[in-house]
Amino acid sequence: MRRKTLSNRQRRAMEPIQFLATLEAQSLPVQCTKSDEVEYLLLLQAAALVDANFEATVRERSGASYVPRAVVIGITSAGRVTLAKAAREHPELFPIARTRGSSTRR
């Protein structure tokens, strides 16, 4: 069965899950300081897919605010299930999962 190609919007929506896949391949705990990674972690924690600690929000004079650092402690069982499902449904986005021996449906 031929897989449907994802739109740019759909690919962008998968970025936090792709980041979750990179976390799974690393030894935890992992420290993240890049703003996009911290944003992904805030989203993943809200969805109960990771356990992470975040530094206090920094508020600048301009009114902007950001979280400077996060430490990922673990990936929850729900996170692992979500990652496995995403890798099965979109193997082209998760080459790490394929090389680690996970099976994909055709």
60-83 pLDDT, tens per residue?
999 999 999 999 999 999 999 999
Higher-confidence residue of 71 and 7: namely 71
Q: CATH number of the domain that 36 lies in?
A: 1.10.10
The residue with tokens 């975040």 is 54
Give a yes or no: residue 83 inside a domain: yes
Q: Tell me if 36 sits within 8 A of 20, measured CB to CB.
A: no
Flag whether pLDDT at 37 surpasses 80.
yes
Fill in the DSSP letter of residue 25.
T
Record the pTM. Answer: 0.81
Question: Is 91 inside a domain boundary?
Answer: yes
Here the contacts of 79-88 (C-beta below 8 Å, separation 24 or greater) are 79/20, 79/44, 79/48, 79/49, 79/50, 80/24, 82/17, 82/20, 82/47, 82/49, 83/17, 83/20, 83/21, 83/24, 86/14, 86/17, 86/21, 87/21
Report the phi/psi class of residue 43: left, alpha or beta, with left for phi > 0 and alpha for psi in -120 to 50: alpha
Kindly state whether residue 2 falls inside one of the protein's structural domains: no
Query: Range of 64's domain?
Result: 8-96
Q: Report the half-sphere exposure of 42 (CA within 13 A, side-chain side).
A: 15
Tally the domains of the chain.
1
Instruction: Output the average pLDDT for the chain.
Output: 87
